[in-house]
Amino acid sequence: MTASRHVRSLITTPPSYEGSLGSVRGADGEDFPILKGMSMRRLVLAPGAIREPHWHANADELACCLSGDLLVSVLDTGDVFGAFTISAGEMFYITVGSLHTIENVGDVDAELIIVFSHERPEEFSLHGAFGAMTDAVLGNTFTLPSSDFAALKRDTSSALLVHRNGPAKVPASAAFPDPHKFGIASETPPIDHPYGTAHAARSQFWPALKNLAMYSILIPENGMREPHWHPNTAEMGYVHKGRARMSILDPDGSVDTYELQAGDAYFIPRSYPHQIEVIGDEEIHFLVFFDQPMPADIGYRTSTSSISREVLAATFGVTTGSLPTLPSTVDDPLIVERVNPLDRPS
């Protein structure tokens, strides 16, 4: 199967950083031209590593922790501070312009999948921001002699990852609830079938969300994400484990069918019909991010329920007697049972 313009690997793509502190790999508008309004990074932090203090000038940020233990510090405005811990199955949300730091406070590597609400997110680091100012300006800012800043290594670049000297300092309050934080894995899934489950991080359950949302979807071999589309909502997904096959219809009538494996990111533009199913015996777990806080969904089952059999017969060029007995479906099931063997794409 040929490579798809809708897919990029976040395992093999060239890193923006890779070394003893971890790695940063991304899919954005520079090397993934189909993206619009979304981009993604896979961040791996080694023990003691820190994603340096930074902020994004044009994008909100939504992150999901897949492994490890992290301390996230946030400054939303001049006097609204927050610091909270994150572990596997938990998420955090940072609004545009808010200063934040991500620190591995555990003993093993930590992995985050991060999505931004822009295809080319712009970033400033605190290191770079200090480097833009003279010693005198900084001295006046902190009411200190300018000579106190002469020893600091400063320029306007960003190191991305830096190393902490000594043990982590985690305040006791970091375990408290925080509006930036959401435990998606511990929430009751709104979709829960023997053939698949979906946990949802959307503004209905997490009021802090403004421009992004995410579903964590687990589908075993006997399940399938039904063919569907999202009105006014783009989708960017990450395959955490398993192998899957997806088909997407483009407006020109072409069908792009491609295979996905762990570490792959994919992008579906707004309102494009698509479907996903398991390949092989292992269940698939994928994170599905959206560019709206309350993503809409129209599935094939509800679509045919909204149209009379006479109109459907005319649409497909058959008699009403030749139409399948399609079930009347009021609520979109999202995940359906696979009652037929896996077919091969035409």
**Residue 268 has what pLDDT?**
97
The lowest-confidence range among 54-63, 127-136, 210-219, 272-281 is 272-281
Helix (H, G, I), strand (E, B) or coil at 114: strand
Between the alpha carbon of residue 60 and those of residues 9, 64, 99, 130, 237, the distances in Å are 23, 14, 12, 23, 17
Residue pair 263/23 in contact by the 8 Å Cβ criterion? no
Kindly state the average pLDDT of the residues 283-304.
96
Q: Return the DSSP state at 188.
A: P
Q: Which residues sit opposite 259 in a β-bridge?
A: 245
Q: Which amino acid is at 194?
A: P
List, for residues 78-97, the tens digit of each pLDDT value.
788 999 999 999 999 999 99
Alpha-carbon distance 287 to 214, whole Å?
Answer: 7
Query: Could you tell me which of 182, 200, 233 has the C-alpha nearest to residue 65?
Result: 182
Chain centroid to CA 185: 15
Residue 182: Cβ within 10 Å count: 24
Closest CA to 224 of 346, 333, 344, 345: 333
What is the average pLDDT across 161-190? Answer: 94
Provide the pLDDT for residue 280.
Answer: 83
Mean pLDDT of 134-146: 97
The mean pLDDT value of the chain amounts to 95
SS3 56: strand
pLDDT digits (tens, 9 = 90+) for 235-247: 999 999 999 999 9
